[in-house]
Amino acid sequence: MSEKLMHENIQKAQKEIESKKEIVKAGQMRQHYHFMPQTGWINDPNGLIYYKGKYHYFYQLNPYYGHWDYMHWGHAVSSDLMHWEYLPVALAPSEEYDDHMRGGCFSGSAIEHDGKLFLMYTGTSNHGEGYVQTQCIAYSGDGINFTKYEGNPVICPPEGVPSDLFRDPKVWKHNGTYYMVCGASRNKRGQALLYRSSDMLHWEFFNVLAESRGEWGYMWECPDFYQLEDKYVLTFSPMGESDRKAVYLVGDFDYDTGKFSWQISGEIDWGMDYYAPQSFLTPDGRRIIVGWANEWQWMSFWKDWGPTYREGWCGFFNLPREVRLMPDHTLQFLPVEELNILRENKQSIREFTVRDQNIELKAGDGISFEMKMKADLEQTDADRLEIDLRCGGEKKTTCIFDFKHGIMKIDRNHSDGWSKGISYSTLFLKGKKELDIHIFSDQSSLEIFADNYQNNHANNVFAGDNQNQILIRAYGGDVLIRDYESYGMKECFR
């Protein structure tokens, strides 16, 4: 093992970041309060953990340019989940099992063990016979400077699993034993494989935690597994399932057999830009998930990565969301309460009626804002409600609540001259008295939550500063809006 080489490669990456960060910071598409890299490309959240009084974000990072390549682990810490301090790169490719220009230190997770911070990640290499993915360990006493374990890799692809489809370990501890779930593929069907260890270093295969029977794609990326009240939750991002990007299954788990039996399935987010969510626990016991706000080229609606690569960066994280279990064992995903500290310039309207003519709403500067309202369904006879966000000239992103057909849609075909596509979800309102709507807008994204935080759409929109109008209207009747409130959002990153 070459600690010297990893240190040199980290220093090289840091030099690149330092030389470009001020130029990148001035980019027109940079977010105001969504987490993003200082420079280069970011994808999956990794190693999310609360450790020694700080929240830690690690993340897949190519520090050199705004496209995917040569994966490192970036690192940042926060006291409040909103304001982040960038730390030195935590992991860089350096070993025969993780040093390849189209590989590197792929996704993984973090856990505290013996007072140290342990990272478990996928090393990806290619020595001329195809890509090989293995699970590896790195550890740190100060939570900043990491050493790769000399016994790496600690897990190799099992028989029947292609060597390039075995990745993204998520580790946890239960009753003194460490467990890890890993994404895999066997016979062209996705799997979540379960391993266990007594010391975090020596691992044994336990069982196939869960697997597709053909309905959930050929590969399960970034699996996560955790208990929520008296139920267990498995999440993953299925490859080969077209528009599905972040699936959850809810059911029961037996630690004696290592088998998960699920009864409920659902979608974490229906938008086009939500992938690879990872969860962690806060000190007060909340289960928080964070997802990557982008999409891969194999998805049916993919166009390209967006224009930010021209500014020397690409990608950011969606807002942290708290996971809660509903009485029917479905899940809801609420923006974390820490977002409230960013609020400023509150505006509110107790109630107003929307008809077939545009009403202009005010929320912050129309670019970086939060907006909440409720549609009173008992006092509504309209066929649909539409909200135009980030309007300017002929450009707009339209949020459509189609009461007549039971559909929620986010249309970004006219958003910015760059984006395209419409995200859809079922809007089931039978027997409900109101529809709650909660919107977060940032420079390059919209996150729209509705219907008790179970109908959520995250979509990237690369709109200019002159696109700062908000319009609302109804078709086929009236909509009574109650409890409207809006806020500007303080900047965290500019």
On average, the pLDDT of the chain sits at 96
Is pTM beyond 0.95 here?
Answer: yes
How many percent of the chain have pLDDT more than 90?
94
pLDDT for residue 1 is more than 70: no
- Structure-model confidence comparison of residues 243 and 468, the more confident one: 468
For the segment 328-376, what is each residue's pLDDT rounded down to a tens digit? 999 999 999 999 999 999 999 999 999 999 999 999 999 999 999 999 9
Q: Which residue has the tokens 């909509």?
A: 479
pLDDT for residue 305 is more than 90: no
Number of CB atoms found within 10 A of residue 13's CB: 24
Bridging pattern class, strands 147-148 and 131-140? antiparallel
Distance (Å, rounded) from C-alpha 60 to C-alpha 298? 19
The reported pLDDT for the residue numbered 243 is 76
pLDDT for residue 387 is more than 70: yes
What's the angle, vertex CA 365, arms to CA 362 and CA 370, rounded to 5? 70
Distance (Å, rounded) from C-alpha 406 to C-alpha 70? 44
| Three-class SS state of 3 | helix
For the segment 139-189, what is each residue's pLDDT rounded down to a tens digit? 999 999 999 999 999 999 999 999 999 999 999 999 999 999 999 999 999
The reported pLDDT for the residue numbered 296 is 82
Using CB atoms within 10 A of its CB, is residue 198 exposed (0-12), middle (13-18) or buried (19+)?
Answer: exposed
* Mean pLDDT in residue range 307-332: 97
The reported pLDDT for the residue numbered 284 is 97
The reported pLDDT for the residue numbered 24 is 97
The reported pLDDT for the residue numbered 2 is 74
The reported pLDDT for the residue numbered 298 is 79
pLDDT for residue 494 is more than 90: no
What is the DSSP code (8-state) at residue 320? Answer: P
For the segment 236-290, what is each residue's pLDDT rounded down to a tens digit? 999 988 777 899 999 999 999 999 999 999 999 999 999 999 999 999 999 999 9
Distance (Å, rounded) from C-alpha 63 to C-alpha 74? 8
Q: If we measure between CA atoms, which residue out of 59, 49, 185 comes closest to residue 118?
A: 49
Q: If we measure between CA atoms, which residue out of 158, 156, 225 comes closest to residue 186?
A: 158
pLDDT for residue 204 is more than 80: yes
| Three-class SS state of 244 | coil
The residues assigned a catalytic role are 44
What's the angle, vertex CA 121, arms to CA 118 and CA 123, rounded to 5? 135
The reported pLDDT for the residue numbered 301 is 75
Distance (Å, rounded) from C-alpha 384 to C-alpha 402? 4
Using CB atoms within 10 A of its CB, is residue 299 exposed (0-12), middle (13-18) or buried (19+)?
Answer: middle
Q: If we measure between CA atoms, which residue out of 292, 319, 299 comes closest to residue 107?
A: 292
Distance (Å, rounded) from C-alpha 269 to C-alpha 333? 9
Q: Is the CB of residue 24 less than 8 Å from the CB of residue 39?
A: yes
pLDDT for residue 203 is more than 80: yes
pLDDT for residue 129 is more than 60: yes
Number of CB atoms found within 10 A of residue 119's CB: 27
What is the DSSP code (8-state) at residue 379? Answer: G
Q: If we measure between CA atoms, which residue out of 80, 141, 87 comes closest to residue 283?
A: 80
* Mean pLDDT in residue range 405-418: 96
The reported pLDDT for the residue numbered 242 is 73
Bridging pattern class, strands 313-314 and 40-51? parallel
Question: Which long-range contacts (C-beta less than 8 Å, at least 24 apart) are formed by 111-116?
Answer: 111/49, 111/171, 111/172, 111/173, 111/178, 111/200, 112/49, 112/51, 113/139, 113/178, 113/200, 115/141, 116/140, 116/141
* Mean pLDDT in residue range 25-44: 97
pLDDT for residue 455 is more than 90: yes
Distances (CA, A) of 325 to 233, 287, 328: 10, 10, 8
Q: Is the CB of residue 344 less than 8 Å from the CB of residue 488?
A: yes
